[in-house]
């Protein structure tokens, strides 16, 4: 029978429920259990696909094309197993499902209410992954903070679910904050006590408390928390601020979080966790032999979470190359022909990031022109690849008005154009080319050398494509399509001949980079930047 773990948060948001969930899952997986994690978000958007990255960080895309919360990226990076549509549910989707069923007459004219109809739908979604037979343990992270009005139905559903599942089949981990008051020189437990009291008001007694703190919690504080919050002293887990998120599984192992969970769920401790590969990765991450400066050109650079997967892919690829990747954020809106040299000088490589819309488009093109003409390693992702195509069209093929129809609908040279099947779509949510698509690589290309094979599958999130009417001209001039979708002939990768490293990918390689499998394109881009740094 599948066991269920619910992770809630109290006192404040951004305590790191996603990292704690992923770390616990990693430890249980390392003991031999089949584990998955799902995220329930209390906002009313159907999915994060239409949210501004400034609001919610990046939108993560799964193999099956679901636009999801960025925490799913952490789950995949830690566990090295793909997530799906079922791993991220929002309030919007819950209500949409219930309303659709009500319209179909499924409730036989009954009054549709939050309890039982909404809570039943939430519980049904809690169970979907557990009932697939693929997992021994399902960890469910409840977004938001206990006490938020919008998360109440989720908390109530957890209460009901725990009661229905019976003893030892479900448990609640509450993540909370123990602040340090500098003036008093003390750690304070009162916010945690209040947070647990609020959970108790909703009918939930947490089984384990994970306490975020900047200073070690001594035995007296643990006793006090245990006494006032009704938990065993060994269920008060310290979660210190860590140097990197990848330290957290080892910190949780030291605190015996996995053992406490297994005991409470009456599961065998199986073997000691096998974390040798993880420790090897951490060793290389923390002891680099060199470093490289890579510029990330994008329009959301004020919020690094907008490019979370790219940053983590650099961490993985850096460790693989035993080098520290120092990412320099460069706002594309501020780049002009006059200042591009000054702003990009001293970089060993430049990545032009994905994005939507016109803002910062010309700045990205300036950055690409500079790196192309100066033989600096370049990597373009999604819009970054499209910008490379436009830049090459303007400055090499001499189509001065070349553009993407996303930015200039009336351009006479639409080298990037919308797919035919997208042209009549009005709704924005979930209507792009989303999820995994196949790609065939040209033998002898940089891409084929990186992957070590000629047939790959990568994840997409875009509406616009390379316009194949210009294919022969580009190829003849040296910008070669080295990856093609075998089903529709669309260009997936372009690379420049006679350049140390100039690769643009229409897909999002960063979404598949994990600790266990760093992405080959990132590994090779970092290696090329390292080679450039040593020469210059």
| 383 annotated ligand binder | yes
Q: How far apart are CA 470 and CA 449, in angstroms?
A: 26
Report whether 20 belongs to an annotated binding site: no
- Is 406 marked within a binding site? yes
Q: Is 17 among the annotated ligand-binding positions?
A: yes
Residues of 484-514 as b/e, b for ≥16 C-beta within 10 angstroms? bbeeeebbbbbbbeebbbbbbbbbbbbbbbb
Query: Does residue 192 have a known ligand-binding role?
Result: yes
Closest listed residue to residue 503, CA positions, set 399, 389, 397: 389
DSSP string, 421-461: GGTT----TT-SEEEEEEEEEPTTSHHHHHHTSSEEEEEEE
293, two tokens: 């400066």
Q: How many CB atoms lie within 10 A of CB 143?
A: 24
Say if residue 463 carries a ligand binding annotation. yes
User: Residues 6 or more apart from 438 whose CB is under 8 A from it?
Assistant: 455, 456, 457, 485, 486, 487
Alpha helices (H) along 212-269: 219-229, 248-254, 257-264
The answer to whether the annotation marks 189 as part of a ligand binding site is yes
Dihedral sign computed on CA atoms, order 178, 182, 185, 190: negative
- Tell whether residue 346 is among the known ligand binding residues: no
Residue 386 counted as an annotated binding residue:
yes
497 annotated ligand-binding residue = no
The verdict on whether residue 504 carries a ligand-binding annotation is: no
Dihedral of the alpha carbons of 22, 25, 29, 31, in degrees to the nearest 10: 120
| Cβ-based neighbour number of residue 100 at 10 Å | 10
DSSP state of 287: S
The span from the CA of 506 to the CA of 511, in Å, is 13
Summary count for the chain: helices (H), strands (E) = 18, 23
Active site residues: 382, 508, 510
Q: Determine the Cα–Cα distance for residues 525 and 452; give it in Å rounded to an integer.
A: 15
Could you please report the per-residue DSSP string of 111-151?
PP-IIIIIHHHHHHHHHHTGGGTS-SEEEEEEPS-TT-GGG
The answer to whether the annotation marks 139 as part of a ligand binding site is: no
Query: How many angstroms separate the CA atoms of 373 and 252, rounded?
Result: 49
* 469 is an annotated ligand-binding site residue: no
Q: Is 472 annotated as a binding residue?
A: no
With helix as H, strand as E and coil as C, how does 17-40 read? HHHHHHHHHHHHHHCCCCEEEEEE
Q: Is 431 annotated as a binding residue?
A: no
- Look up residue 519 and give its two tokens: 């992405």
* 18 annotated ligand-binding residue: yes
Query: 452 a known binding residue?
Result: no
* Tokens, residue 298: 């994008």
Residue 141, marked binder: yes
The answer to whether the annotation marks 76 as part of a ligand binding site is no
User: Is 162 annotated for ligand binding?
Assistant: no
Known binding-site residue numbers: 13-19, 54, 71, 141, 148-150, 188-193, 224, 242, 355, 383-386, 406, 463
Known binding-site residue numbers for CTP: 13, 148-150, 188-193, 224
Known binding-site residue numbers for UTP: 13, 188-193, 224
Known binding-site residue numbers for L-glutamine: 54, 355, 383-386, 406, 463
Known binding-site residue numbers for ATP: 14-19, 71, 242
Known binding-site residue numbers for Mg(2+): 71, 141
């Amino acid at each position: 029978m599948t066991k269920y773990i619910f992770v809630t948060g109290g006192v404040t948001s951004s305590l790191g429920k996603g990292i704690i969930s992923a770390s616990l899952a990693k430890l249980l997986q390392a003991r031999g259990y089949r584990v998955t994690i799902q995220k329930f978000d209390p906002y009313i958007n159907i999915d994060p696909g239409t949210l501004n990255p400034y609001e919610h960080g990046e939108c993560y895309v799964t193999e099956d094309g679901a636009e999801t919360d960025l925490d799913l990226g952490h789950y995949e990076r830690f566990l090295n197993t793909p997530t799906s549509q079922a791993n991220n549910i929002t309030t919007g989707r819950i209500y949409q499902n219930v309303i659709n069923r009500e319209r179909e007459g499924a409730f036989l004219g009954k009054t549709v209410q939050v309890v039982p109809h909404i809570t039943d739908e939430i519980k049904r979604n809690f169970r979907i992954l557990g009932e697939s037979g693929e997992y021994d343990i399902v960890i469910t992270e409840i977004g938001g903070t206990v006490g938020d009005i919008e998360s109440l139905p989720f908390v109530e559903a957890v209460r009901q679910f725990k009661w229905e599942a019976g003893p030892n089949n479900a448990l609640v981990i509450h993540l909370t904050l123990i602040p340090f008051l500098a003036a008093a020189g003390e750690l304070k437990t009162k916010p945690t006590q209040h947070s647990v009291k609020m959970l108790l008001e909703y009918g939930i007694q947490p089984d384990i408390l994970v306490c975020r703190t900047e200073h070690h919690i001594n035995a007296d504080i643990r006793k006090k928390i245990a006494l006032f919050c009704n938990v065993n002293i060994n269920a008060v887990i310290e979660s210190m601020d860590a140097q990197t998120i990848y330290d957290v599984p080892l910190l949780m192992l030291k605190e015996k979080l996995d053992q406490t969970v297994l005991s409470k769920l009456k599961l065998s401790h199986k073997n000691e966790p096998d974390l040798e590969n993880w420790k090897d990765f951490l060793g290389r991450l923390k002891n680099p032999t060199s470093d490289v400066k890579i510029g990330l050109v994008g329009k959301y650079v004020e919020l690094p979470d907008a490019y979370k997967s790219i940053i983590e892919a650099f961490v993985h690829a850096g460790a693989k190359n035993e080098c520290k990747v120092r990412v320099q954020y460069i706002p594309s809106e501020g780049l002009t022909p006059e200042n591009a040299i000054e702003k990009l000088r001293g970089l060993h490589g430049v990545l032009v990031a994905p994005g939507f819309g016109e803002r910062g488009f010309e700045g990205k093109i300036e950055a690409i022109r500079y790196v192309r003409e100066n033989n600096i390693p370049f990597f373009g992702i999604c819009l970054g690849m499209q910008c490379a195509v436009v830049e090459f069209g303007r400055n090499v093929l001499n189509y001065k008005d070349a553009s993407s129809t996303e930015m200039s609908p009336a351009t006479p040279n639409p080298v990037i154009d919308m797919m035919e099947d997208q042209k009549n779509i009005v709704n924005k949510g979930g209507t792009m080319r989303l999820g995994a698509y196949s790609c065939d690589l040209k033998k002898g290309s940089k891409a084929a050398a990186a992957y070590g094979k000629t047939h790959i599958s990568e994840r997409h999130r875009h509406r616009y494509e390379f316009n194949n009417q210009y294919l022969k001209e580009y190829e003849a001039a040296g910008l070669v399509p080295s990856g093609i979708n075998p089903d529709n002939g669309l260009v997936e990768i372009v690379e420049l001949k006679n350049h140390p490293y100039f690769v643009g990918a229409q897909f999002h390689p960063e979404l598949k980079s994990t600790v266990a499998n760093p992405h080959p394109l990132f590994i090779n881009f970092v290696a090329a930047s390292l080679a450039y740094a040593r020469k210059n």
